[in-house]
Amino acid sequence: MPLNELDIFADILAFHVEAGIDVALGEAPVDRFKESAAEASARAATRPAPAVPAARPAPASPPRPVSEPRRAAPAQPAAPAMNMAAPPPPDVATVEARDAALSAPTLEALRAIVEGFDGCPLKHTATRLVFSDGNPLARLMFVGEAPGRDEDIEGKPFVGRSGKLLDRMMAAIGLDRTGAYIANVVPWRPPGNRTPTPQETAICLPFIRRQIELANPDILVCLGGPSAQTLLGIKDGITKARGRWVEYETGTRTIPALATFHPAYLLRTPLGKRMAWRDFLAISKALGELPRTTSS
């Protein structure tokens, strides 16, 4: 029987939803990976200068050597100046994010600061902030890339299908969400689950770095290549980089960090579970061997 027009539209819509394209943002597509310097500075020219002080140098992606001086957390929470008009150009937003993040003395303060931050365009397309789940006092912290649709609805990281798999992987080493703190490099869902642009990631990086510093875990686990590349400075693909311990400088101390496969990858590639299981055994062993510095 020939399909009528409505059936065809319904099929196309269903295809888009399955592909993660479930929000309509505009009539014409925008390639944000290709925003030119000229466009960025044109936008900058229409915007007042940021009302925050000059920034520290950008945190390098690779972990800092242990011998470098440690950075003390400022004593006073200071609400960052937010610009509610045109979004700032990415380099300005990154500086604002860095200063705002550094001003947070606690995780609660940081959450409030991120909630009020307007410098990342993803905030305006996401339903809500996806800041964290699990136990902020846990010795183990997982960091993924960015929330998906289910996370955007619930406001918590890793609650969809890949989150359920992460729960099962944790259970396999005797942990549940009371034994881990969970966050993402980017705390807002990119529309249609697209990859965050390098600019969006750069803007959000100071927040996740501060979140790790304040949570102060004994072990950091990056879920997937993008998280490992952003936080650990790993250049290799995840297949090569996974399972290798590196050092991560939180800002107050150096902790061991490991990259492993993202659960979403494991859902697509079940053969990878064997390697991921090895990684989780290594995490469990390290938790047993490392001196306990947190209360949970």
Q: Which stretch binds ligand URA (CB under 6 A): 47-55, 92-100, 145-153, 213-221?
A: 145-153
Using CB under 6 A, which residues numbered 199 to 228 contact ligand URA?
A: none
Q: Does 162 interact with ligand URA (rule: CB under 6 A)? A: yes
Amino acid at 204: C
Which tokens is 116 given? Answer: 């009020």
The kind and range of the H/E element at 180 are strand 180-184
What are the φ/ψ torsions at residue 203 (nearest 5 degrees)?
-65, -40
- Residue 117 near ligand URA by CB under 6 A: no
Mention every residue, 6+ apart, whose C-beta is less than 8 A from residue 135: 177, 178, 179, 180, 181, 296
> Cα separation of 192 and 198, whole Å?
17
Q: Residue 114 half-sphere exposure, CB side, CA atoms within 13 Å?
A: 28
**Residue 151 vs 213, nearer CB to ligand URA:** 151
Q: Whole-number minimum distance, CB 160 to ligand URA, in Å?
A: 6
- From the CB of residue 259, how many other CB atoms can be counted at a distance below 10 Å? 27
- Of the pair 130, 287, the CB lying nearest ligand URA is at 130
Q: Which residues of 99-138 are buried (b: 16+ CB within 10 A; e: fewer)?
A: bbbbbbeebebbbebbeebbbbbbbeebebbbbbbbbbeb
Mark the segment that binds ligand URA (CB under 6 A) among 33-41, 65-73, 141-149, 204-212: 141-149
Q: Would you give the DSSP letter of residue 212?
A: H
Nearer to ligand URA, 145 or 213 (CB): 145
In the complex, minimum distance from the CB of residue 264 to ligand URA, in angstroms, rounded to a whole number? 6
The closest alpha carbon to 279, from 254, 261, 255, 256, belongs to: 261
Q: Which residues contact 211 (CB under 8 A, 6 or more apart)?
A: 107, 110, 131, 132, 183
CB of 236 to ligand URA, least distance (A): 19
Minimum distance of ligand URA from residue 173's CB (angstroms): 20
Least distance between ligand URA and beta carbon 126 (Å): 12
Out of 87, 144, 190, 196, the only residue in the binding site for ligand URA (CB under 6 A) is 144
Closest distance of CB 270 from ligand URA, Å:
17
Interface with ligand URA: number of residues (CB under 6 A): 12
Q: Which is nearer to ligand URA, 162 or 260 (CB)?
A: 162
Sole window of 51-59, 73-81, 138-146, 280-288 interacting with ligand URA (rule: CB under 6 A): 138-146
Q: Which amino acid is at 273?
A: K
- Minimum distance from residue 164 beta carbon to ligand URA (Å): 11
Residue 227 CB, nearest approach to ligand URA (Å): 7
Helix axes 90-102, 37-45, angle to 10 degrees: 70
| Nearer to ligand URA among residue 89 and residue 226 (C-beta) | 226
- Binding residues (CB under 6 A) for ligand URA: these are 144-148, 151, 157-158, 160, 162, 184, 264
